[in-house]
Chain A
Amino acid sequence: MGFPILSLMVALPLAAALACLFSGARAARWIALVATLVNLGLGILLWTSYEIGGPQWQFTEYVPLFGRFAWALGIDGIALLLIVLSVFLMPICIAASWDSIQKRVPEYMAAFLLMETLMIGVFGAQDMFLFYIFFEAGLIPMYLIIGIWGGADRIYASYKFFLYTLLGSVLMLIAMLWMANEAGSTSIPVLMAYDFPAEAQTWLFLAFFASFAVKMPMWPVHTWLPDAHVQAPTAGSVILAGVLLKMGGYGFIRFSLPMFPIASAELMWLVMGLSMIAVVVTSLIALVQEDMKKLIAYSSVAHMAFVTIGLFAFNRQGIEGALMVMLGHGLVSGALFLCVGVIYDRMHTREISRYGGLANNMPKYAMLFLLFTMASVGLPGTGNFVGEFLSLIGAYEISSWVAFVATTGIITGAAYMLYLYARIAYGAARTEEAAAMPDLTPREFALLAPLAIATLWMGIYPESFLAPMRNDVGAVLARLAPTAPHSDAKVAIGNPKAAAAPGAHDSAEAHH
């Protein structure tokens, strides 16, 4: 056990949060920014010192501090990338709230820093109950963020967010208790290798599903998300869409798939069915939204359905694609919420019909917004393309119908995003205020530029992101292999040499 870098990354924001509570508004902003930047530095250090192809679990720490369960931390490639995503988004959130949050700043910064602690804890926990505690604890700061600094209808949204997710999670707790009792261990790596009895797996799967499906969110338990997004302050939406939603997907790949492979195969159609409905229905709902944030929230539900489709395709393309969608969506939806926040700060309305023609007076903004719109649509060259393409290939291998229905989501996705962009940025300004809005300030530009670079990086050289998680996806696949359902399309894997013809670059990449 070397230097406890993960513990440090968990403890640092916590200490900063306490410091914020006891300082003034100005000091709290700086403390929060410095702490999150230091954590970003640590995250980059973590990424660079992560040994690709090394042991499955790295940076492990184990202190049997609590008797029944332990302070056990450790990450694999999947957790690594999600931690990096979290620490990357965090300073952006703090900076995005620099001017727009004016009331109760110390508490606001403390809530965000606490959130960061808990997010890193969730992805880094190697003990099931430690995971649960971090997973659930996130409700408290998010409840406060939505409830104190949210929009007009914030109280309803905060309750809905809290109670929905709590109900899902408590059932998971009972399943965890049963598992710990059955397997005699609370260590996640041990449980990932434990074969639970087939009939129990179904129940356990459903209990975990209740929690992760709400967190994800999957149709029909997604209704808390639009409310929470619309009411939350901009940075709250970024964190919610960027990281919190990823906890559901992370839960599926960390718990449901490797621990209950039999049940996962049996209940594949439940997940696929709900995901297919989600792609079609929420995309259509997004098409008719008048509120920018709501539109992006519904698009998040649709994108998350690509994640579940990919995960439950039971093949490498699907799972790697799902993880890429998670990362890509974390960046892009975060960036889109920031874009909305930029113009919301100027006009204080989220109604699409009040804007228009922003390309004339805000060219830099229109440029970046266009980039993120295209990324959300899944244009090649952006991170989302890689993810969606891979997960659809994976889905096609398992069922052509799923792939067919899911692909319509790409088309409708293009429709609602381009329609949104056209109404906001093109044509003539519908209101005088919209025409008079100044372009991005350097601070706003500095927030969006790193996201743009990261999105393009993911699209142009996805190997940097795929490489760390390749072996871990392989480990999950090895657990799934005995029960993986058969493909309806009977796709035969071709000879790689023969397939390496011009234009087949992407499929070759998918088979890396």
Chain B
Amino acid sequence: MSMTASLALTVPELILSVGALMLLMVAAFGGDGFARAIGWGAVALFAAAGFSLIGPAGNGGPGFDGLYIADSFSSFAKLLIYVAAAVSVAVAPGFFSRTTGGYRAEYPILILLSAVGMGMMVSAGDLLTLYVGLELQSLSAYVLASFMRRDTRSAEAGLKYFVLGALASGILLYGISLIYGFTGTTLFAGISDALAQGITTGQLFGMVFIFAGLAFKISAVPFHMWTPDVYEGAPTPVTAFFASAPKVAGMALLLRVAIEAMGSGTDSWRQIVIFAALASTILGGVAAIGQTSIKRLLAYSSINNVGFALFGLAAGTPEGVAGTLTYMAVYVAMTLGSFICVLQMRDADGHPVETIASLSGLSRSRPGLAAGFAIFMFSLAGIPPLFGFWPKFLVFDALVRAGFWPLAMVGIATSVIGAFYYLKIVKTIYFDDPAPEFAPAASKLEGGLITLAALAVSPLGYLAIPLLDATSMAAARALF
């Protein structure tokens, strides 16, 4: 494949990186006064990158001698990433303008660069592409976590994220070097061929380290410890971003590595995935019960949900992978919706509040917001008829089809633990006596986004099942 043809596959990344550099120039010379305009520019770039997936970038096959793959899988994941990133950019000005530091132009640019990294992650056909993409995403994320420089919690979150993230990257890189050493290649296709001839101990070690490194990125138990601290400390729009786009990218990357590179060793990694999935759903459920901060609670909720998404991978079948992809799609809607709801939590002076107790009696002061919260909570808990039920249905269906019905029984039973703390939020909002009222809604955009997300996870979402099924299945088939 010629260089130009290969470059055509990377159009979304090209749009985003060139655009990010241009916006960086605007920021450097125009200053923070242009911050909002730059934000809208970034949203436009995400839209452009999303539309460019219609072309060869959407389904052009491998390029750069297999280092980079543009298939229906990568375009499914990229579309989710771009939507999530664009929403994280769009809701940011309203939040930052009320903080001491103000809204700065670096924010949209960092998110753009992070999205370039995420695009590379999901399109990686080689362990090194994977690593470069992952680091580009992570480095932007470390800066984003400490974006409110003068806030000690934000700085702490950034530092924690950086130290632990660097450790995880080291683990991942060590795994990559082991795999390279014992298979002689870093290309996914080559690794797959090598593993098909039987797995040696060295290769197994490499797999374990790679899975451990990737588990950190998606915050699966036992590599989840950073999540609550970082989610709590980071500015809320950044937390919304962390909980959505990088999660999708990390999960997609894990799927691709597990199926495309190590698909012939499924039986070897399945137990790792099963353990991580069960541990995440249980710990994500139990540890969330005692939380008093809504952001920490949502952090545990994201751990819990990643656990459920991993059940699809544990099945190791195209149906399972499609289930996981659908899970991530619905999860993005639910989690972004909940975080935008959290953004509305401001006391009378406009300062953000994060305690669950402050939500008390919200249904009387702000019925619309309360209904939104309740919809997202019931949906995250997976209670039908809300759409959050459907992805759980799919992953467990895949498990049952693959013959793992006892695991499915245990897994779905853990969802009851999770339901408890989601119910606690609904209880606080609907049953308890009113706490001091929040400041009135400030932004029509945020209200609109909440409505949109709520409609997506409402029973109306079921009408999207044929479309979701077809696209996620096509994406999953690209890996097998």
Contact = CB atoms under 8 A, between A and B. Distances in A.
A134 B389 CA distance: 12
Contacts, number: 88
Given A65-B462, A140-B378, A177-B396, A133 B389 contact: yes
Question: Which range holds the interface residue count of chain B?
Answer: 20 to 34
Nearest to A137: B385
A133 B458 CA distance: 13
Interface string A155-168: 10011001100110
B389 to A, nearest CB: 7
B383 A148 contact: no
A181 interface: yes
Contacts of A132: 384
A155 B427 contact: yes
Interface string A120-141: 0000000001001110110110
Contacts of A181: 397, 400-401
B173 interface: no
B225 interface: no
B465 A67 contact: yes
A174 B383 contact: no
A175 to B, nearest CB: 9
Given A133-B384, A167-B413, A181-B401, A173 B396 contact: yes
A12 interface: no
B452 interface: no
Contacts of A178: 400, 405
B408 interface: yes
Contact of B396 (A148, A159, A167, A174): A174
Interface string B371-414: 00000001000011100010001001100110001001100110
Given A171-B412, A171-B413, A177 B400 contact: yes
Contacts of A154: 431
A interface, by DSSP: helix, strand, loop or mixed?
helix
Contact of B409 (A133, A137, A143, A171): A171
Interface in A27-71: 65-68
Contacts of B431: 147-148, 154-155, 158
Nearest to B384: A133
Task: Identify the interface centre among A144, A162, A173: most chain B CB within 10 Å of its CB.
Answer: A173
A101 interface: no
B123 to A, nearest CB: 28
A174 B407 CA distance: 10
A166 B393 contact: no
A170 interface: yes
Interface residues of A, number: 35
Contact of A162 (B408, B415, B419, B469): B419
Contacts of B430: 144, 147-148
A52 B335 CA distance: 51
B377 to A, nearest CB: 10
B287 interface: no
Given A148-B430, A174-B409, A177-B397, A66 B465 contact: yes
B416 A163 contact: yes
A159 B420 contact: yes
Contacts of B397: 177, 180-181
Interface in A159-197: 159, 162-163, 166-167, 170-171, 173-174, 177-178, 180-181
Interface string B410-434: 0011011001100100110011000
B431 to A, nearest CB: 5
A65 B463 contact: yes
B198 interface: no
A133 B385 contact: yes
B385 to A, nearest CB: 4
Given A132-B384, A140-B378, A147-B430, A68 B465 contact: yes
B466 A174 contact: no
Contact of B400 (A67, A104, A137, A174): A174
B420 A163 contact: yes
A177 B385 contact: no
A170 B385 contact: no
Contact of B427 (A65, A158, A174): A158
B384 A136 contact: yes
A173 B405 CA distance: 11
Residue in B378, B397, B413 whose Cβ sees the most chain A Cβ within 10 Å? B397
Contacts of B385: 133-134, 136-137
A180 B462 CA distance: 19
Interface in B113-160: none
Contacts of A134: 385
Contact of A66 (B364, B405, B426, B466): B466
A178 B193 CA distance: 34
Contacts of A143: 423, 426
6 contacts: A136-B384, A144-B430, A158-B431, A166-B383, A177-B408, A178-B400
Given A147-B431, A171-B412, A181-B400, 18 more contacts: A66-B462, A66-B465, A67-B465, A67-B466, A68-B469, A133-B385, A139-B383, A147-B430, A154-B431, A155-B431, A163-B419, A173-B412, A174-B408, A174-B409, A177-B396, A178-B400, A181-B397, A207-B409
